[in-house]
Amino acid sequence: MCGIVGATSRTGAVLEGMIEGLRVLEYRGYDSCGVAVADGERIEIRRKVGRLSELEKLLVDGALSNARIGVGHTRWATHGKPSDENAHPHSDGSGRLALVHNGIIENYLELRKELQAEGRVFTSETDTEVLSHLVGRELARGASLIDAVRAALRRVHGYYAIAVMANGANGGLVCARQGPPLVVATTADAAYLGSDVLALLPYTRDVVYLEDGDVAELAPGFARITDIHGAARERAVRRITWDAEQASKGGYPHFMLKEIHEQPDVLARTAFDRILSTSGDVSFEHGDWDDARLRALQRIQVVACGTALHAGYVARYLIEHLARIPVDLDFASEFRYRDPRLVEHTMALAVSQSGETADTLAALRLARELGAWPVSVCNVMGSTVVRESQATILTHAGPEIGVASTKAFTAQVVAVFLLAVRLGRARGVLSVEQGRRLLDELRCLRPRMEALLAPHSVERVGEVARGHLDAKGFFFLGRGVNFPIALEGALKLKEISYVHAEGYAAGEMKHGPIALISKGMPIVVVNSPGAVADKVRSNLHEVKARGGHVICVGSDRESFELADEVIEVPQTIEPLSAVLNVIPLQLFAYHHALARGCDIDKPRNLAKSVTVE
Ligand code: F6R
């Protein structure tokens, strides 16, 4: 949720780089932010509610510009409202240390009472402040910073990524991970840490992902990793192959728009190398995808959240249709608490862009404990979900910065299509010829996506989206593989334009929600030729008869004749229509939000990666 940076350098100032690091991490949380730096004996903390630009105003005096060690934070509030006092870094009032934290300390109330009883004074409502006091208490007793942090962490329950700096003889820079991600790197003259590798890319491409229970001590040119008891831990250095440029806006006004436009390339990167044309099959790199294992599967249990869950719905449709394996699907947050039962030979399939979503991770772990084979579709190599899966299909969407997920969703849908084909081939449901036809059609999507992203097509969607700025609410309807696309279209719109939008299975409308339709209400109907196209057309009639203003998205020409407005999408086979139909819906949300003056890349109340429950 929150973004964390830290740096220590022998030769240069660290503040400017940390601010740049926070800028790229702002997508993780942006209700307040702060930095702490040490200049000689002094630790200076500056923090502010609001965006990074507010913090920068506090730094214009240049007083902290030469500091060689520091930590920084951009926050998404969990304990305590967004305010200057609750913003990180936190201290213990001694002026000796500063600490930033992402996560939740579950026993903080109990610890807070204990520390208050010793006369320690708290100045915020956060759970984080107990950590600063626990570390401060150990430092005051003469412990080194690394020992003080380890001792503090042995007292807490919960999950965290933290970075702590202290001055004086037993000072330094230390970070630790139990849950939320943390990455460290060293260069000849410096050491860096960040909650996302993006913050480290300006310095190096060789990074170390900390694992749960790791505590890292950093000094210029040096990093040592131990566990919370001090036992050494070895961690491999990983080379990042994409560069910071790929994570910048590249001339687009917003990351979301840039990411929407990247989708033809994302399709190619995620799919094309994996297609085995001769055998009409697919090969995956990470894990054991043998026919025997896939043939033994009895069931697939998908766990995911939000947009990733919508890709899971597509997976259900595709896998049941193309591989004939029953698929169950749950919100990860529900699965983990509903005392689930799994049959033998179940694949637990976690779908996640970040690979760090707390609920998805917990659901995957639970499914594994219940005997399932843990598999993931994930965009971040080295993420916790990937590390805890026995097999992974990496989506090669590249870094996704816009909070509203777009290209990562498309990549997930493409990945689960590949999975469905692989399963269908392994289990003999699909012949070589059928496999080939499906995969050939997948290849053909690229030019069709490009057509959808051509300026005139984008402008057409913009025109329609701007035509409904006064609407109080929207329905998005679909069936079959386009039902999750309706859900996704509605989610995108509500996330970034704050308009109420409901995604619904078109056939369910008459069981209640149709009562909400009033004259002129915009109803986006997603329909492409296939098994349910005529059913959707009947549902379209139903909403039109109640005065709904129908905007038809898709390639079903017969629906166009019934609609008030049309956004035409190139045709493809029914199982792949989801990949194309979602693109105009992403653009619809984008243009609607733009016209309403919303902050597209940083919508209110949201964060990119939800690493708390
Ligand atoms: C919506 C969105 C969220 C995420 C959800 C899961 O645009 O991005 O709904 O899909 O928080 O995140 P990941 O995929 O990182 O597990």
Last residue of one domain, picked from the residues 424, 443, 462: 443
Is the CB of residue 379 below 6 angstroms from any atom belonging to ligand 1?
A: no
Q: Is the residue at 161 inside a domain?
A: yes
Q: Is the residue at 464 inside a domain?
A: yes
Q: Which of 407, 492, 494, 608 is catalytic?
A: 608
Are 404 and 519 within one domain?
no
Q: What is the pLDDT of residues 305-345, one digit of tens each?
A: 999 999 999 999 999 999 999 999 999 999 999 999 999 99
Are 122 and 175 within one domain?
yes
CA 405 to centroid of ligand 1, rounded, Å: 6
Q: What is the per-residue pLDDT for 463?
A: 97
Is the CB of residue 406 below 6 angstroms from any atom belonging to ligand 1?
A: no
Is the CB of residue 214 below 6 angstroms from any atom belonging to ligand 1?
A: no
Q: What is the pLDDT of residues 194-211, one digit of tens each?
A: 998 889 999 999 999 999
Q: What is the pLDDT of residues 56-88, one digit of tens each?
A: 999 998 888 889 999 999 997 777 888 999 999
Ligand 1 atom at minimum distance from 492 CA = 7
- Tokens describing residue 224: 């040592």
Q: What is the per-residue pLDDT for 422?
A: 98
Are 302 and 402 within one domain?
yes
What's the structural domain count of the chain?
A: 3
Q: What is the per-residue pLDDT for 244?
A: 64
Are 255 and 204 within one domain?
no
Work out the pLDDT band at 414, boundaries 50, 70, 90. very high
Q: What is the per-residue pLDDT for 243?
A: 64
Q: Taking a C-beta distance cutoff of 8 angstroms, is the pair 5, 72 a contact?
A: yes
pLDDT surpassing 70 at residue 242: no
Q: Is the residue at 612 inside a domain?
A: no
Ligand 1 atom at minimum distance from 357 CA = 16
Dihedral pair phi/psi, residue 568, rounded to 5°: -85, 140
Is the CB of residue 306 below 6 angstroms from any atom belonging to ligand 1?
A: yes
Are 408 and 466 within one domain?
no
Are 415 and 474 within one domain?
no
The average pLDDT across 442-463 equals 95
Work out the pLDDT band at 30, boundaries 50, 70, 90. confident
Are 424 and 477 within one domain?
no
Q: What is the per-residue pLDDT for 431?
A: 98
**What distance in Å separates the CA atoms of residue 463 and residue 591, rounded to the nearest whole number?**
8
Look up residue 180 and give its DSSP letter. Answer: S
Are 434 and 488 within one domain?
no
Q: Taking a C-beta distance cutoff of 8 angstroms, is the pair 303, 367 a contact?
A: yes
pLDDT surpassing 80 at residue 149: yes
- Tokens describing residue 445: 């999507």
pLDDT surpassing 90 at residue 435: yes
Q: Which of 2, 305, 552, 598 is catalytic?
A: 2
Domain harbouring 38, CATH code: 3.60.20.10
CA 407 to centroid of ligand 1, rounded, Å: 12
Q: What is the per-residue pLDDT for 598?
A: 94
Q: Is the residue at 533 inside a domain?
A: yes
CA 481 to centroid of ligand 1, rounded, Å: 19
CA-closest residue to ligand 1 atom 10: 307
Mention every residue, 6+ apart, whose C-beta is less than 8 A from residue 387: 211
- Tokens describing residue 437: 């036809």
Is the CB of residue 412 below 6 angstroms from any atom belonging to ligand 1?
A: no
Q: Taking a C-beta distance cutoff of 8 angstroms, is the pair 611, 179 a contact?
A: yes
Find the range with the poorest average confidence among 231-245, 418-432, 572-586.
231-245
CA 354 to centroid of ligand 1, rounded, Å: 8
Binning the chain into helix, strand and coil, the percentages to the nearest 5 are 40, 25, 35
HEC secondary structure over 53-67: HHHHHCCCCCCCCCC
If you average pLDDT over every residue of the chain, what do you get?
93
Q: What is the pLDDT of residues 576-603, one digit of tens each?
A: 999 999 999 999 999 999 999 999 988 8
CA 267 to centroid of ligand 1, rounded, Å: 19
**What distance in Å separates the CA atoms of residue 278 and residue 199, rounded to the nearest whole number?**
43
Q: Is the residue at 103 inside a domain?
A: yes
Is the CB of residue 601 below 6 angstroms from any atom belonging to ligand 1?
A: no
Find the range with the poorest average confidence among 14-18, 80-84, 127-131, 491-495.
80-84
**What distance in Å separates the CA atoms of residue 267 and residue 259, rounded to the nearest whole number?**
12
Rounded to the nearest angstrom, the gap between the alpha carbon of residue 526 and the centroid of all alpha carbons in its chain is 26
Full domain range(s) for residue 259:
248-443
CA-closest residue to ligand 1 atom 6: 305
Which helix (H) or strand (E) is 369 found in, with range? helix 358-369
Domain harbouring 541, CATH code: 3.40.50.10490
Give whole-number Cα distances, 105 to 19, 99, 123, 128, in Å. 26, 14, 17, 7
**What distance in Å separates the CA atoms of residue 554 and residue 566, rounded to the nearest whole number?**
8
In the chain, pLDDT over 70 holds for what percent of residues?
97
Q: Is the residue at 609 inside a domain?
A: no
Ligand 1 atom at minimum distance from 609 CA = 15
CA 555 to centroid of ligand 1, rounded, Å: 28
Ligand 1 atom at minimum distance from 385 CA = 16
Ligand 1 atom at minimum distance from 308 CA = 10
Q: What is the per-residue pLDDT for 509?
A: 87
Q: Which residue has the higher pLDDT, 78 or 548?
A: 548
**What distance in Å separates the CA atoms of residue 274 and residue 266, rounded to the nearest whole number?**
13
Are 413 and 543 within one domain?
no
Give the sheet arrangement for strand 32-39, strand by strand.
42-49, 32-39, 69-75, 3-9, 190-194, 183-186, 206-209, 238-239
Q: What is the per-residue pLDDT for 187?
A: 97
Is the CB of residue 305 below 6 angstroms from any atom belonging to ligand 1?
A: yes
Q: Is the residue at 530 inside a domain?
A: yes
Instruction: Tell me if residue 2 is catalytic.
Output: yes
Q: Is the residue at 273 inside a domain?
A: yes
Q: Taking a C-beta distance cutoff of 8 angstroms, is the pair 397, 408 a contact?
A: yes
Last residue of one domain, picked from the residues 443, 469, 497: 443
Are 284 and 344 within one domain?
yes
Work out the pLDDT band at 25, boundaries 50, 70, 90. confident
Task: Indicate whether this model's pTM tops 0.85.
Answer: no
Task: Give the distance between the most distant pair of CA atoms in the chain.
Answer: 79
The average pLDDT across 128-156 equals 97
Are 557 and 432 within one domain?
no
Work out the pLDDT band at 245, boundaries 50, 70, 90. low
Last residue of one domain, picked from the residues 221, 246, 271: 246
Are 430 and 512 within one domain?
no
